[in-house]
Structure 1
Amino acid sequence: MLRSAVAQQDASIGVDENVVDSQAFAQVLDEVRRRRDEFDAGSHVPRDMIERFKHVGIYRAATPKCFGGDALAPHLFLQMIERISEADGSAGWVASFGSAGVYLAALPRETLAELYAESPDLVFAGGLFPLQPAEALEGGYQVNGTWKFASGCKGADLLGVGIGAAGGKPRTAVFRPEQVEIVENWDVVGLKGTGSHDLRVNDKRVDERWTFIRGGASTIDEPLFRYPSIAYAAQVLAVVNLGLARAALDEISRMAGGSGITGAPKLSDRAYVRIEIAKAEAKLAAARGFFYNATEQVWNSIIAGNPVTPEQTSLLRLSAIHVSQAGAEVVQSAYSLAGTTAIYLRHPLQRYLRDSMVVTQHAFLSEGLYDGAGSVFLGVPPFPGYI
């Protein structure tokens, strides 16, 4: 079976030679495919793989240009994460936090200068919830507590924890890894390689200048840091399901020419299979088009000097929810078409199915967020924190 026209067109996604060495990026993708079982078995993406991501620019993509970073246009970064996720969902999820510089840009400028003094390639991971109260001290806070879901924490240069809210948005305290205990308890059914362990901090002081409001105003005046940071954080996670859906459909294409164990006709000779594949390709292409069209529209408006509107922010959030759900549905369709062959734990479709379902469980991508988008469409106030 032929790979879809959309997939053929996007065969070089994320390897614009003005952004990254295409050969180096292809080599990274190959390595991710070879090592994805290792990531799952170890429950994290190892540091040497993180270094490979640094080499191709993942962790300078959201570093301000004034500090030597790329401050990459969101659609270009998202395409890179899509390709990595096609190779492995966990690796794509961990790489997606290369976008975290948009959060960190809410730190004071002098703190950012200190952070980026040695290199623009900075890996940040955070376990922000549940928010823990911190004792306010003169010029800082005394921090204690345990936080969950710190994806990529074992490969991070900086770790953040949530220490209360300001204006409905969480305040984040930033620590060096040696100040934080990683509680290795990431025992899950999907995205096993993300290493989303708990973080624990015992009686550590943090200066106020090493805290920021997630989604707060940026101290950097560059286009990327005017892009809605919470919406972007949802997008970089949602795009993982685009990669997984593409991988699932390509797997069915590879399987379609072979005979089943019962002697039934090849998948490609069955009308219902051809129909469902066509529907799945259309669903994926439509969701993908909406997702990137919304991203580029907002980015082009920012470049033109326009302020971001609530309607634009809502559209970005809606496109993220939609692409997450649509991608998972495409994976489910591919899994169903594969029949009993796909029930074995070592089969690629097992991995894609489990990983894609975990993506849709993230709070940024939950079904309930459609309510926020609907509210904006109807001109009524959405729930707090949506935009």
Structure 2
Amino acid sequence: MTVESATRRVVAEPTGPAREKAFAHALDVLRDRRDEFAQAHHVPRDYIDLLKKAGLYRASTPEQFGGEPMAPSDFMRRIEDISAVDPATGWVASFGSSLVYLAALPVQTQKKLFADGADLTYAGGLFPMHEAEKVDGGYLCTGTWQFASGCMGADILGIGLAGGPETEGKPITALVDPADVEIVDNWDVAGMKGTGSHAIRADRLFVPEEMTFIRGGASQIDEPLTRYPSLAYAAQVLAVVTLGAARGAIDFAITIGGANASITGGQAKGNRPAYKAGIARAEAELRSARAYFYEATDAVWAKAVADELITVDDQADLRLAATHAAHVGRSVVLQVFDVVGTGAIYANHPLQRYLQDALVPAQHAMLQTNTYEAVGALMLGLEAGIPSFP
């Protein structure tokens, strides 16, 4: 691909009331179209454009290239708000944070990528990593890469190549034009249907070396957001989707809890002891996990802003808070499902959206149960047992 082909000319609204209005409009449209996105198995480009206008796809573009980097907490609260309406769209929107990876590219490449605008949509299908043929000036890439969330609306895609001694074993990401690869429509899942996490296929596609970078490699840009731990941030933006899903589920249960009577003619569900206690416990658990999540985030962000050393313990705390948020959020949605009762088993019940989607983040490799064990190992002075952790 060439850098000239990477961007689409959609620009964020000016900071302030216009951008807030754009974000509110995007949420209103999402309420009307979320079922459409689930049925289509992806979030379409015209809706991605609304998120661009709301500033979500310049939130991790370096300031020196016209971006308006957002503090992680501010960005993730936006993702929470989207996820409370539709978690799958929140998952796609969360990759507005992923441009921090591109900071490892040569500076001249970054300058060209953002020359026509700071609002760039990036999606990656990085695994399984494939061996690429090294040729003069770059790589010939062949393979199929899975789980490219948001690929149907992306301006630029990343594919994973196996590293070697020169990368200290770290993987290489090669940036490609969506027009140069095949999107394999294989996203047939029970939860997060709308994320469009299809596969990417390429056959001897040439990628110039300047369009590649080491994933987790040193940033070539020195700004607060590029100092913030990128792998931990990648885990956090997925975990916060579950917090949004849990908020959406609780709010729904509170709304229907005020109904006058149940279908059996008994007292209103919300007036039953189990319903009242269940909703209160769910609220307390959600807000407790959320408080820890943002406390850890803000503590490390303050260090990034002050250009202070961010330690392994700091990074481990972010990973623990993210894993805990994903698992508690999932538990909260299941608690709400329990108290809502029989009606929630129907496929078209509104709670099914939150139930099916909230099960997914804690299944992600960055948030699975073994990350609890890895953090515990570090706390005890042992090896984490997971590559590149934290």
* Range into which the TM-score falls when normalised by the shorter chain: over 0.9
8 Å CA contact 2:227, 2:307 repeated in 1: no
**Is the aligned partner of 1:284 residue 2:286?**
yes
Per the alignment, residue 225 of structure 1 pairs with: 226
8 Å CA contact 1:168, 1:385 repeated in 2: no
**Is the aligned partner of 1:200 residue 2:198?**
no
Instruction: Find the residue that maps to 2:251 and give its secondary structure.
Output: helix
1:238-249 equivalence runs, <5 A: 238-249=239-250
CA distance in 2, matches of 1:356, 1:169: 31
CA distance in 2, matches of 1:169, 1:374: 24
Amino acid at match of 2:64: C
Amino acid at match of 2:201: R
CA distance in 2, matches of 1:228, 1:304: 14
CA distance in 2, matches of 1:277, 1:168: 48
Residues 140-180 of structure 1, C-alpha deviations (whole Å, 9 max, x = no match): 11100001000000100001100113334321110011111
Instruction: Find the residue that maps to 1:63 and give its secondary structure.
Output: coil
**Is the aligned partner of 1:70 residue 2:68?**
yes
Per the alignment, residue 32 of structure 1 pairs with: 30
CA distance in 1, matches of 2:50, 2:313: 38
Per the alignment, residue 132 of structure 1 pairs with: 130
Instruction: Find the residue that maps to 1:219 and give its secondary structure.
Output: coil
1:20 Cα deviation (Å)? 7.0
Per the alignment, residue 151 of structure 1 pairs with: 149
Residues 91-115 of structure 1, C-alpha deviations (whole Å, 9 max, x = no match): 1000000011111111110110110
8 Å CA contact 1:248, 1:334 repeated in 2: yes
CA distance in 2, matches of 1:323, 1:138: 46
CA distance in 1, matches of 2:324, 2:36: 31
CA distance in 2, matches of 1:296, 1:276: 30
Per the alignment, residue 215 of structure 2 pairs with: 214
**Is the aligned partner of 1:267 residue 2:257?**
no
Instruction: Find the residue that maps to 2:105 and give its secondary structure.
Output: coil
Amino acid at match of 1:209: E
CA distance in 2, matches of 1:380, 1:20: 50
Residues 19-46 of structure 1, C-alpha deviations (whole Å, 9 max, x = no match): 9722221111111111000101111101
1:312 Cα deviation (Å)? 0.4
Amino acid at match of 1:341: G
Instruction: Find the residue that maps to 1:234 and give its secondary structure.
Output: helix
Moved more, 127-136 or 260-269: 260-269
8 Å CA contact 1:39, 1:45 repeated in 2: yes
Per the alignment, residue 375 of structure 1 pairs with: 377
TM-score normalised to structure 2 length: 0.93
CA distance in 2, matches of 1:172, 1:236: 20
In structure 2, relative to structure 1, the CA distance for the partners of 1:140 and 1:266 (3 Å cut) is same
8 Å CA contact 2:19, 2:55 repeated in 1: no
8 Å CA contact 2:274, 2:339 repeated in 1: no
CA distance in 2, matches of 1:285, 1:17: 29
Amino acid at match of 2:27: L
Which runs of no fewer than 5 residues in structure 2 stay unpaired?
1-13
Per the alignment, residue 5 of structure 2 pairs with: none
Q: Cα RMSD over matched residues?
A: 1.3
Amino acid at match of 1:95: A
8 Å CA contact 1:125, 1:151 repeated in 2: yes
Instruction: Find the residue that maps to 2:43 and give its secondary structure.
Output: coil
1:17 Cα deviation (Å)? 6.4
Percent of pairs identical after alignment?
A: 51
Instruction: Find the residue that maps to 1:59 and give its secondary structure.
Output: coil
CA distance in 2, matches of 1:268, 1:357: 25
CA distance in 2, matches of 1:37, 1:276: 28
Instruction: Find the residue that maps to 2:338 and give its secondary structure.
Output: helix
CA distance in 1, matches of 2:169, 2:32: 43
CA distance in 2, matches of 1:379, 1:294: 20
Per the alignment, residue 92 of structure 2 pairs with: 94
CA distance in 2, matches of 1:129, 1:176: 18
CA distance in 2, matches of 1:343, 1:328: 17
Per the alignment, residue 162 of structure 2 pairs with: 164
1:218 Cα deviation (Å)? 0.5
**Is the aligned partner of 1:350 residue 2:359?**
no
8 Å CA contact 2:156, 2:176 repeated in 1: yes
Per the alignment, residue 12 of structure 1 pairs with: none
CA distance in 2, matches of 1:71, 1:156: 19
Per the alignment, residue 336 of structure 1 pairs with: 338
**Is the aligned partner of 1:385 residue 2:383?**
no
CA distance in 2, matches of 1:355, 1:71: 28
1:58 Cα deviation (Å)? 0.5
8 Å CA contact 2:22, 2:50 repeated in 1: no
Instruction: Find the residue that maps to 1:130 and give its secondary structure.
Output: strand
Amino acid at match of 1:194: T
Following TM superposition, the consecutive aligned residue runs of length 4 or more in structure 1 with deviations greater than 6 angstroms are none
